Amino acid sequence: MGKRILIVDDEPNIVTSLEYLMKREGFEVQVAVDGEAGLKAAAGSAPDLVLLDLMLPKMNGFEVCERLRADPRSRGMKIVMLTAKGRQADTARGMAAGADLYVTKPFSTRELVAQVKQLLSAPG
Amino acid sequence: MLQGWVIVLVAFAYLGVLFAVAYYGDKRAEAGRSIIANPYIYALSLAVYCSTWTFYGSVGRAASTGIGFLPIYLGPTLMVALWWFVMRKIIRISKAYRITSIADFIANRYGKSQILGGLVTVIAVLGVVPYISLQLKAISASFTILRNYPNVLMPVHATGQSFANNNALYLALLLAAFTILFGTRHLDATERHEGMVAAIAFESVVKLLAFLAVGAFVTFGVYRGFGHIFQLAQQERRLQPLMTVPETSGSYASWGSLILLSMLSIVTLPRQFQISVVENVDEDHLRKAIWLFPLYLFLINIFVLPIALGGLMLFGPGVDADTFVLTLPMAQQQKAIAVFAFVGGLSAGTGMVIVETIALSTMVCNDLVMPVLLRWKSLRLNERPDLSRLVLLIRRCAITVVLMLGYIHFRVAGEAYALVATGLISFAAVAQFAPAIFGSIYWRGGTHAGAIAGLSGGFAVWAYTLLLPSFAKSGWLPGSFLTAGPMGISLLKPQELFGLTGMDEISHCLFWSMLVNVGLHVGVSLLGRQNANETEQATLFVDVFRRTPALERSAFWRASASVDDLLPLIGRFLGPDRARELFIAYARRRGADSLEELSADADLVAFAENQLAGAIGGSSARVMIASIVQQQPPGIDEVMNILDEASQVRAYSRQLELKSRELEEATRELRAANKQLQELDRMKDDFVSTVTHELRTPLTSIRAFSEILLDDPEIRLPDRKRFLATIVKETQRLTRLINQVLELAKIESGSAEWHTTELDVKDVVRESVETTSQLFRENRIELQTAVDGELLPAVRADRDRLMQVLINLLSNAVHVCRPGEGRVEIRLGVSRGFLQVDVRDNGPGIGPADQETVFEKFRQVGDTLTGKPHGTGLGLPISRRIIEHFGGRLWVESDLGAGATFSFTLPLERPAAGAGETVAQVTG
């Protein structure tokens, strides 16, 4: 059974590119365009991994991440934070919120795919 | 009969013993084994307070006023209780600055003022001369009375005898010689006279024993104890009032003023200052003196009433009560006790005269004569190799002159007053020093001018209310001066000044003189300013306990002089050998092995000044040192220079104070500016972070799609097309963003170019509509334009930038409207001197909370819309800045769900007539 990936981002072009990349690798892809929708989607379909933007309408990525980690059902979910905010402090806060990985935009597509695969093959 | 030569022999024998004691004391001091370095000697020497006034006069006063003699001893008893606080401070100050007299003390405090020193000296001499004459009178009278032993004859009745007229002169000359031997044998840096102090302590013992002997004889020999005397006195009606305080209000007032007067005098009498301050060896001696001295006063007073009552009961009215101490033993044929009483009176008188004249001669020499001589350039005193002989000569002359003045006073005015009254006049004179002295140790604010004004004023009042009346009573002035006032002006009656009655003459004088003295001292001080020199001295005096005991530094000297210059100078006054010793000791303290190694700094100069001050007084020492330091003969100009320099220092310090206040102000401003800068820095940081974020977002898409296309050549054509179109669009977005950031930066920094011309807004609107028509068509949105009125006035603006604003508003309107349903309306109108343009849409509207937010950088309000808002988030902030640049306003009005209206205004060009009016107003 293919792994499921949830993309939460409000930038349509980025969503398109991520969707294309993940589908090409054989993952099942679901999309949400704001923080609240992202949480709802995560609760509903229980994806294996979330690609989470930081600057989201309605609820920012940090909060989405913290809430996912707080919920026992989604605690084991892999979370990759994708953000255009590259300051040291932002990275630290992202890791503190419970992300497995913090990727700064613009990212290398190859690296991102490789990191997602590695996260999904790891136990737990 | 008792032969005159016997009495003279006894007197000389006594003086010989006294001199032996003094000589022994000096020898021991030279050997370094001082006999006066113990608190008992110190306390006994303080009893120089008890002169013949006490020895003979107390009984006289008791015979007329009963216990009215007591206040003169209660005052000192009270004052001595405060000495640990008051006298210790005065001693500490005097030791630190080698103060030689009360004049030196006051002059030192108020800026080392020679004028003040001279003034104090003059007051002291004038005030104390009657007191000295009183001693001469008492001693010569006692001699005359004793000569008639066993007949009790008053000297007044014996004026026919020529010797009576002359023996006071011989006595004065004898005492002058004796005092010269005691006090001016050599000149010392500390101006201390150990031998004299020893002799004075010895005298205190003698007079106490003599008085106790007479008292005991009268009480227990003539009568049968205290009880017996008082019992007998009680039976005589005329003696009863002596044993109670008279019940008139005035008597309590006069008790109070006498106590106050004697409290002040125990500090301000020149001889008391000499003994208690200048001759003090160790300030710890005060601890014992505080109770020993009152004990002495108690003992010497214990037999006063019995002797007075006994005399009154035994003698008729013909015998002066002032002589009871001597005449009672005489009448009882007790030759030995009578002679002892004579010796006691002699010791009381000589003790007072010696110390008083030494103190006065020091003042006259250091504060009156030397300053004048030193300023007298033609004398070339500063070039004389040895001045110590001159100083001693001046002092010896001063001693002789003071005693002669005393004699003259005795001859001229001596008979007018009783012992006690004369003494009180002197007390009142020297009490005038009290405000200056107490002010000097407790009040930093007192000024030189204040001290001079207070002293002069107080002294003038004293002279007017006590001295002139005493002249009037002696017949030198018409009696009407007292009874009707000068020139018949009764308000100015010297002993009822301004109608003040009901007081005795002493209380009256004390009241007015202290009122004037303290009032002028404080008033003039508060009105004036201290110069730097006074400020320095004031601090040194008031804060003496806060400083280190080794006080040889003065901030006054900023110049320096070498040992080669200073040593000969000090040597001229103290003798070369003694000066050399002192300098070597100083060098050792400073850690130098020899005089040559001693550094020629301000400390050394201050040290030399201090040594000299001990010999010739503070003010003269300063002038002498100044002459060396400046390598010039001293003169008034040089002294003025020093003072100028001091006032310059003061001016600098005032400037410094001003600068430091400015500095504080600047610091506060800088702190505020720094805070603002930090805030700006934070804002800039946020801005950069936001711009970065906005740049990264399109870059992310561009990179992702480029890599996808690069990695996968087999990609389907529609996808390929779609991805490439996205890359192009994002590149455009990136370019737009960069342009707008730069533009905003330009506008904000004020470096943007503006091509402002007069233009018709209708044309600009038309052009903007044409430019965006494609956009409206694509989104199927209706656009309408309405103009209120036919002719719109022109405005001044930059055509391209105004179009940029309009296009921004129109494209924003397109993007918030639903395609196919949107309606946008542009309205132009004029209101209150402004042209107004409204762009109205029927989109979702903007909530009240966001109506200002939309004008902030990167704050797009897209949350209420579906999907990502269009644009960079800089369009509206830039538009607002452009409109504001033209002097207009850009804002939005909206209700959620009912569309939004963005409006801006532009100021209208002033009509030509209006411009003319303005010009007319200006020129009119």
Two tokens, residue B805: 């604003």
Q: How far apart are the first and last CA of chain A?
A: 16
Q: With an 8 Å Cβ cutoff, are B696 and A14 in contact?
A: no
Per residue in B5-15, pLDDT tens? 888 888 889 88
Q: At B894, which amino acid appears? A: S
| pLDDT confidence band for B2 (50 / 70 / 90) | low
Tens digit of each residue's pLDDT (9 = 90 or more) over B412-437: 765 655 555 677 888 888 899 988 88
Chain B CB within 8 Å of residue A89 CB? no
Question: What pairs with residue B510 in β-bridges?
Answer: none
Please state, in angstroms and as integers, the Cα–Cα distance from residue B596 to each residue in B564, B587, B599, following that order.
9, 9, 8
Interval B193-233: pLDDT, tens: 888 888 899 999 999 999 999 999 988 888 888 888 888 88
pLDDT digits (tens, 9 = 90+) for B81-123: 888 888 888 888 888 777 888 888 888 888 777 888 889 999 9
Q: φ, ψ for residue B869 (rounded to 5)?
A: -65, 155
Quote the pLDDT of residue B425. Answer: 83
Q: What is the DSSP string of B340-367?
A: HHHHHHHHHHHHHHHHHHHHHHHHIIII
Report the gap between the CA of B840 and the closest CA in chain A (Å).
Answer: 26
pLDDT reported for residue B212: 92
Provide the 10 A C-beta neighbour count for residue A58. 15
| B697 interaction partners in chain A (CB closer than 8 Å) | 11, 14, 84, 105
Per residue in B553-604, pLDDT (tens digit) is 444 454 566 777 777 777 777 777 878 888 888 888 777 777 777 766 667 7
Phi, psi of B844 (to 5 degrees): -70, -15
**Residue B858 DSSP SS3:** coil
- Per-residue confidence (pLDDT) for residue B187, from 0 to 100: 62
- What is the structure's pLDDT at B646? 61
CA distance B249 to B107: 40
Q: What is the pLDDT of residues B635-669, one digit of tens each?
A: 455 455 555 556 667 677 778 888 888 888 899 99
- A110–chain B Cβ distance below 8 A for any pair: yes
Verify whether the Cβ–Cβ distance B712 to A24 is below 8 Å. Answer: yes
State the ipTM, two decimals: 0.91
Under the banding of pLDDT at 50, 70 and 90, the label for residue B628 is: low
Q: Is B770 on the interface with A (CB under 8 A)?
A: no
The CA distance from B537 to B514, in Å, is 25
What pLDDT score was predicted for residue B916? 36
Residue B349 pairs in a beta bridge with none
Buried b / exposed e along B209-225 (16+ C-beta atoms within 10 A): ebbebbbebbbeebbee
The predicted structure's pLDDT at residue B65:
80
By CA distance, what is A21's nearest residue in B? B708
pLDDT score at B705 = 92
- CB-nearest to A21 from B702, B708, B719 is B708
The DSSP code sequence of B279-318 is T-S-TTHHHHHHHHHHHHHHHHHTTHHHHHHHHHHHS-TT
**Residue B8 tokens, joined:** 């003279």
Q: Which positions ≥6 away from B104 have C-beta within 8 Å?
A: B117, B362, B363, B366, B367, B613, B617, B618, B619
Helix (H, G, I), strand (E, B) or coil at A28: strand
- Average per-residue pLDDT for chain B: 80
Summarised one tens digit per residue, pLDDT across range B138-188 is 888 888 888 877 777 776 543 434 434 567 777 788 888 888 887 777 666
Q: Is B637 exposed, middle or buried (0-12, 13-18, 19+ CB in 10 A)?
A: exposed
Strand order in the sheet with B782-787: B782-787, B823-831, B834-840, B900-907, B889-894
Hey, is the C-beta of A88 within 8 angstroms of any chain B C-beta? no
- A111 reaches B (C-beta below 8 A): no
| CA–CA dist B577, B566 (Å, integer) | 14
Bridge partners (DSSP) of residue A50 are A6, A79
Q: What is the per-residue pLDDT for B157?
A: 41
Please check whether residue B689 touches A, CB under 8 A: yes
Concatenating the DSSP letter of every residue in B183-238 gives: H-SS--SS---HHHHHHHHHHHHHHHHHHHHHHHIIIIIISSSHHHHHHHHHHSGG
In this prediction, residue B924 has a pLDDT band, given cuts at 50, 70 and 90, of very low
What is the band of B920 on the pLDDT scale with cuts at 50, 70, 90?
very low
**Residue B400 pLDDT > 70, yes or no?**
yes
Integer Cα distance of B98 and B95 in angstroms:
5
Terminus-to-terminus CA distance in chain B, angstroms? 119
- pLDDT value, residue B146: 84
Cα A62–B862–B880 angle (5° rounding)?
115
Q: A24-33: per-residue pLDDT in tens?
A: 888 999 999 8
Find the radius of gyration of the CA atoms of chain A: 13
Most B CBs within 10 A among A9, A10, A11, A13, hence the mutation to make, goes to A13
Q: Locate all alpha helices (DSSP H) within B66-193, ordered by sequence.
A: 71-81, 87-96, 102-109, 114-147, 162-183
SS3 label, residue B174: helix
Residue type, B834: F
By the 10 Å C-beta count (0-12 exposed, 13-18 middle, 19+ buried), B609 is classed as buried
Query: Cα(B621)–Cα(B253) distance, rounded to whole angstroms?
Result: 45
Average pLDDT of the residues in B324-347: 87
Q: What is the C-alpha to C-alpha distance for residues B304 and B53, in angstroms, rounded to an integer?
A: 12
Cβ-defined contact of B697 to A12 (cutoff 8 Å): no
The verdict on B686 touching A (C-beta cutoff 8 Å) is no
Task: Give pLDDT < 50 ranges for chain A.
Answer: none
pLDDT above 70: percentage of residues in chain B: 86
Chain B hits for A16, Cβ within 8 Å: 726
> Could you read off the pLDDT of B871-894 as tens digits, one per residue?
667 888 889 888 988 888 898 888
pLDDT score at B279 = 85
Residue B372: which residues within 8 A CB-CB, separation 6 or more?
A: none
Amino acid identity, residue B905? T
Instruction: Express as a percent the part of chain B with pLDDT over 90.
Output: 6
Rounded CA-CA distance B348/B331 in Å is 22
The token pair that represents B456 in the structure block: 């002069």
Report the residue from B697, B708, B863 with minimal CB separation from A17. Answer: B708
- Burial (0-12, 13-18, 19+ Cβ within 10 Å), B181: middle
E strand or H helix that includes residue A29 = strand A28-32
Burial class (CB in 10 A: 0-12, 13-18, 19+), B710: exposed
- In terms of pLDDT, which residue wins out, B202 or B541? B202
DSSP state of B908: B
Is the pLDDT score of B911 beyond 70?
A: no
CB B697 to CB A21 under 8 A? Answer: no
The arrangement of strands across the sheet holding A4-8 comes to A28-32, A4-8, A49-53, A78-83, A101-104
List chain B residues with CB under 8 Å of A11.
697, 700-701, 868
Which residues make Cβ contacts (< 8 Å) with residue B704, sequence separation at least 6? A14, A17, A18, A21, A106, A107, A109
As a dihedral over the C-alpha atoms of residue B376, residue B379, residue B385, residue B388, rounded to 10 degrees, the angle is -60
Backbone angles phi, psi at B587, to 5 degrees: -60, -40
The one-character DSSP state at B632 is S
Paired tokens of B167 = 């023996």
Distance CA B718, CA B724 (A): 10
The amino acid at A61: G
State the Cα–Cα distance between residues B224 and B218, nearest whole angstrom: 9
Mean pLDDT of B704-726: 88
The mean pLDDT of B734-738, rounded to a whole number, is 87
Question: What's residue B232's pLDDT?
Answer: 85
Q: Is beta strand A78-83 parallel, antiparallel or unpaired with respect to B756-759?
A: unpaired
Count A/B contacts: CB-CB distance under 8 Å: 71
Exposed, middle or buried: residue A17 (CB in 10 Å: 0-12, 13-18, 19+)? Answer: buried
> Quick check: bond before B150 cis, omega within 30?
yes
Decide: B413 and B470 in contact? Cβ < 8 Å: yes
- Chain A partners of B689 at a C-beta cutoff of 8 Å? 85, 87
- Output B4-13 pairs: Cβ under 8 A, ≥24 positions apart: B4/B147, B4/B163, B7/B143, B7/B146, B7/B147, B7/B339, B7/B342, B10/B339, B10/B342, B10/B343, B11/B143, B11/B342, B11/B343, B11/B346
Task: Provide the shortest C-alpha distance from residue A37 to chain B (in Å).
Answer: 12
The set of residues, in sequence order, having a beta carbon less than 8 Å from that of A82 and lying 6+ positions away, is: A9, A14, A51, A52, A53, A54, A103, A105, A107
Question: Up-side HSE of residue A114: CA atoms within 13 Å toward CB?
Answer: 5
Greater confidence (B477 vs A49) lies with A49
What long-range pairs does B226-232 form, CB within 8 A, spacing at least 24? B226/B306, B229/B306, B229/B309, B229/B310, B230/B305, B230/B306, B230/B309, B232/B309, B232/B313
Q: Which of B682, B697, B705, B720 to mutate to test the interface with A (most CBs of A within 10 A)?
A: B697
Q: Is the CB of B702 inside 8 Å of chain A's CB atoms?
A: yes
pLDDT tens, position by position, B746-757: 888 888 888 888
- Do B711 and A84 count as a contact with CB atoms less than 8 A apart? no
Residues 724-743 of B with CB under 8 A from A: 726, 729-730
CA-to-CA distance for B146 and B151, rounded, in angstroms?
Answer: 9
